[in-house]
A and B are shown apart, each in its own frame.
Chain A
Amino acid sequence: MSIWFGQHRAALVDAVRRLASSPLNSALSLLVIGIALALPAAGWLAIDNLRAAVGNVAQIQQISVFLTTDASARDIADIEKRLRSSGIGRFRFVPRDEALKHLQAREGMADLVAGLPRNPLPDAFVVDAENATPVALEEAARTFADWPKVEHVQLDSAWVRRFDAFLRIARLAVGLLGALFAAGLAAITFNTIRLQILAHAAEIEVARLIGAGDDFVRRPFQYYGALQGMLGGLLAVGMVAGGGALLAGPAGELATLYGGSFALRGPSPLEIGALAGGGALLGWLGAQVSVALHLRRFG
């Protein structure tokens, strides 16, 4: 086992040495891989941020549950209890007086509200559903509508469906882009390893002649590919995080202008791990195919 570890450690050190021995070439390869991974990663994050931003600013994922005007305090408490036990998500009670004040505060509405003989607005609950898919929201809305003392349930279903369809198309496009760039990354590694094999042809030939097996010859190249992919993935994380930091201020200001608050989300630890790990895996894959094809000439 110690021999096995020793040989892997030696292969890793050899791979690092090979990367460091041509810094310019390595830097350019890493840059290309970094960009290839950063583009789909940025797209993925942009969609996620857009979903959060639109949900926050336009409240399109909220369900408003309006009660009948004769709903008593006991009825309100009953609805509140039902909402809590449903586990739908966060919700808050908006008393009819508060709703009227909100209406009055809107531009041009003060005079109109002042002219009303009585408060026409009902008590209401505003629900932020945890599951914001159109199907789940519509199901919840139907359930609420059947409860006693509920007059009307409001959900902009069409808007939610349109937005959800847009998100699905965008996710699919990012997925396709990701697959395309992943293939590109594997191809870059394939070619890099091919050049590495050519550069180390003498070493490989000698090693073969004095007893090196397939694993011994392949291992440094596999580590090289995986290392290059992983570093490219980390570079992509840096690019996405840097771009996010630059956009965070303007995005927050834009959200404020639409009456919401929004903080742009950067890559999570899981996403960082996925980019680095995915890069390493794709690099290893490209290297594996390359060594399998190009080492044949060494017998």
Chain B
Amino acid sequence: MITASAVCKRYAEGREALKDVSFDIADGDFAYITGRSGAGKTTLFRLFAAIERPSSGGIVVNGQNLAALGRKAVPYLRRNIGLVFQDQKLLFDRNALANVLLPLSIVGLPAREAERRALAALDKVGLLDRAKAMPVALSGGEQQRLAIARAVVNRPSLLLADEPTANLDTDSATDILGIFRAFHQVGVTVVVATHDPQALADVKPRVLRLDSGRLLSDSPLGAAPPSAGGLATGGAAR
């Protein structure tokens, strides 16, 4: 599903965001990418979504080598990935339903079928009764759930989320993580970049721990989760 091979990312100002990062995430995995602020989580998220390109190394997502991916092929890659952003990136001039309809209009789904699927996606995240609400009228947790509904409405096989529980209260964060687990249980590969210790506490997920752009550890699925503050001692990085 995702293969990162010796990925490096250097920015123009000379900052090295990722250094020689390698790992595999298989179909059906649920993985957390964690680390302190500036560890390289968001950079990795942006590389997987082809928002940025690696300076060196290779990334394969859904069987497509992103280094060789042409500019015109990027939209097709993104249509098969559900992206959830920390700042949600909702359109505040249209209601919840219209926000969820946007990915469907991009692929050209007929209006009636699109609306049926958008309402089903809103239902899955518990927002069916808020379909006509404008995003500004939704709470932070509801906005993040709306962003998840938009990410999954095209039925992607891979769901990528960048700090989806940041700025949320504990209950809302628990709801959001529960939604991700629910999608994982129906076969969706889920990768969540987070520094939220709560995300790692209640289950035994696979955790890829980054620090200053390096992959320090990779605890395989089912291994004991690392403590929130310390470094993992689980599975080794490739």
A residues contacting B by CB (< 8 A) are 2-4, 6-7, 10, 202-203, 205-214, 216, 299
- Provide the bound-state CA to CA distance between A223 and B76, in Å: 24
Q: Are B91 and A203 in contact (CB under 8 A)?
A: yes
- Provide the bound-state CA to CA distance between A10 and B108, in Å: 9
Q: Are B105 and A210 in contact (CB under 8 A)?
A: no
Chain A contact residues: helix, strand, loop or mixed: helix
Known interface pairs A205-B89, A206-B102, A216-B106; A211-B72 also in contact (CB < 8 Å): no
Number of interface residues of B (CB under 8 A): 26
Q: Are A213 and B150 in contact (CB under 8 A)?
A: no
B residues contacting A by CB (< 8 A) are 49, 51, 72, 75-79, 83, 85, 89-93, 102-103, 105-108, 110-111, 150-151, 154
Distance (Å) between the CB of A77 and the closest chain B CB? Answer: 75
Contacting residues, chain A, for B102 (C-beta < 8 A): 206-207, 210
Known interface pairs A10-B105, A216-B106; A210-B78 also in contact (CB < 8 Å): yes
Q: Are B91 and A206 in contact (CB under 8 A)?
A: yes
Q: Could you show 19 A-B contacts with beta carbons less than 8 Å apart?
A: A2-B110, A4-B108, A10-B105, A202-B91, A203-B91, A203-B93, A206-B90, A207-B102, A207-B106, A209-B51, A209-B89, A211-B76, A211-B103, A211-B106, A213-B75, A213-B106, A214-B72, A216-B106, A299-B51
Contacting residues, chain B, for A3 (C-beta < 8 A): 108
Contacting residues, chain A, for B91 (C-beta < 8 A): 202-203, 206
- Provide the bound-state CA to CA distance between A208 and B72, in Å: 11
- Provide the bound-state CA to CA distance between A213 and B76, in Å: 8
Contacting residues, chain B, for A4 (C-beta < 8 A): 108
- Provide the bound-state CA to CA distance between A50 and B186, in Å: 79
- Provide the bound-state CA to CA distance between A205 and B85, in Å: 13
- Provide the bound-state CA to CA distance between A202 and B49, in Å: 18
Contacting residues, chain A, for B103 (C-beta < 8 A): 210-211
- Provide the bound-state CA to CA distance between A6 and B49, in Å: 27
Q: Are B108 and A7 in contact (CB under 8 A)?
A: yes
Q: Are B108 and A211 in contact (CB under 8 A)?
A: no
Q: 5 closest pairs, A vs B, by CB? A: A211-B79, A3-B108, A211-B78, A213-B75, A211-B75
Contact of A210 among B83, B92, B111 (CB under 8 A): B83
Contact of A211 among B92, B93, B107 (CB under 8 A): B107
Distance (Å) between the CB of A167 and the closest chain B CB? Answer: 52
Q: Are A209 and B108 in contact (CB under 8 A)?
A: no
Q: Are A212 and B106 in contact (CB under 8 A)?
A: yes
Further contacts, 12 of them, CB under 8 A, given A206-B102, A209-B83? A3-B108, A6-B110, A6-B111, A10-B105, A207-B102, A209-B49, A210-B106, A211-B77, A211-B107, A212-B75, A213-B72, A214-B72
Q: Are A209 and B105 in contact (CB under 8 A)?
A: no
